[in-house]
Amino acid sequence: MTRPHARGINGWSVAVWVCTAVLWCTLAHFVLGIPLQVGDSFGDLTEIQDRTFWDVAAHAFQPGPAYYRPLRWVQMKGVFDLSAGRYYAWYKGVQVAQIALCLLLFVRLLRPKEGIDAAAALLALAVLAGLHTFNDTVRETFPINHFMMVVIACLAAANLAVSRARWWSDAAAAALWLFAALTLESGVLVSVIVVAAYLAGLRGVSSRGVAAVVALTAGYVVLRFAVFHVGGPGLDERSSGFGFRVIERAELPVRFGGNPLPFYLYNIAGNVLSLLFGEPRGGVFVFVRSLVEGDVRAWRVLNVLSSTLTTLAAGWYAVRRARAWRAGEPMDAHDRLAATGAALIAADAVLGYAYSKDVIMSPAGVFYALIAYASARALLQWLAAPARTALVRAAFVVVLVVLSSAWSVRVVGLHWSLREQAMRVREDWATIDQDLAANGFAPLTPSGVALKQALQTDALITRAAPPGLDLPALRSWFDEDY
């Protein structure tokens, strides 16, 4: 039985928590600058606004053709009713609280105690916030960010696994699974964390708790596919990247309808490669395409370089620890958590077989950052050993400076993309009437008109647009839509 880190607070841990708080404050500021969006918020809110909470809940638990996400609607309606018309304050408040909880649970898994731990923890925070998977997750301005809900549930499950077993731990693991899986399909990844952590030697959730989560997962599969007949997304569900371009919904069944297996395998492989090497993005090999076309942009090089260097460090760490384990050295808590993260990355990639979208790998991205922490910590300890020469240390310091700088730029790029999102959403609200008419949206009810006016006023008048980040010299370094 392995417990990870003993509790305790010192100057190094305080420094990491202060940096985490600063990161949260900046992210919260930029997220609060984004109004509730038109595309994935307004339509859902008009659907629930005139119905009672219990009516929405009862309807949400009825199975659909491709998705079963009842708690997503329950959460949305609950906050809608509590808001009493203050939609922006309540929904955006939930979103910034989600980010705070995500960062808290992430850093709690690190628990840095020494200077080396703190340095590795700051790099891990930069990896977490700089990853394109996290970028897409934070930018998702649904009324309730259900992608972030799943990330939080996965981190909470990992925290249970690494903590001391308590009488309520098993029940909490089962409750987390139910909450996550009924919010979004990727919530079943909670079971992967619970099982993988137990197999890796983390015993915060007992064998009974693991069995309960496995039983819930099996029951979910039977109910979803055999009883409710809720399948997975079809080929024409949404457009998806393939090779050097995005294939539209109508073309996908034509190209792969006879045998979709190659397309699904491509998506699975692309999900893994995207996380490990920053390429492809949404299924599109953007960097390779830019090399072929002679249009290499700084942000594409930066993403591939930073992700590849981090993955190489993780590979070095895995080989080194595997050799030590075979030589009889026991796995420590960081090894066990890293092994759990590797299992989650594989499972998340498989779960996203149907189409390529960066945000699908958001739970895996968080655990990739945990692996980056373990790798950086091990590398710094290796460099600090007396056997290392000054030349070796100098060379690796240069590499680490380049790596940390690259991830820092990507973190700044996250803030830039949030500000760009704020401008785009306001533009959508400025043209909402034309867009609704052009897309054949059903005529709004009087309450729907009132809701539209309230949200539009919030977006365009009550909360003025924040100033754009005019950084022409740096803009080419920030992640752009592809």
The domain ranges of the chain are 11-234+296-466
Please choose, from the candidates 96, 75, 189, the residue with its C-alpha nearest in 3D space to the C-alpha of residue 141.
96
Output the DSSP codes for 25-78: HHHHHHHHTSPPPIIIIIHHHHHHTTS-HHHHHHHHTS--SS---HHHHHHHHH
| Residue 7 pLDDT class (50, 70, 90 cuts) | low
Total-model pTM: 0.92
What is the residue-averaged pLDDT of the chain? 89
Please choose, from the candidates 167, 161, 178, the residue with its C-alpha nearest in 3D space to the C-alpha of residue 215.
178
Average pLDDT for 419-447: 84
What whole-number distance in Å separates Cα of residue 264 and Cα of residue 354? 6
Q: What confidence tens digit (pLDDT) does each residue in 345-401 have?
A: 999 999 988 888 888 999 999 999 999 999 999 999 988 888 888 898 899 889 899
Residue 469 above 70 pLDDT?
A: no
| Residue 463 pLDDT class (50, 70, 90 cuts) | confident
pLDDT at 299: 84
Residue 4 above 50 pLDDT?
A: no
| Residue 481 pLDDT class (50, 70, 90 cuts) | low
What whole-number distance in Å separates Cα of residue 380 and Cα of residue 394? 12
How far from the centroid of its chain's Cα atoms is residue 49's Cα? 29
Average pLDDT for 69-80: 92
Q: Integer distance in angstroms from the first to the last C-alpha of the chain? A: 47
Residue 396, judged by CB atoms within 10 A of its CB (0-12, 13-18, 19+), counts as middle
Residue 470 above 70 pLDDT?
A: no
Q: What confidence tens digit (pLDDT) does each residue in 269-283 have?
A: 999 999 999 999 888
**317 or 3: which leads in pLDDT:** 317
pLDDT at 473: 67
Q: What percent of the chain has pLDDT over 90?
A: 50
Average pLDDT for 145-154: 95
Average pLDDT for 292-300: 84
Per DSSP, 441 falls in state: P
Residue 6 above 70 pLDDT?
A: no
Residue 127 above 50 pLDDT?
A: yes
The token pair at 121 is: 């923890």
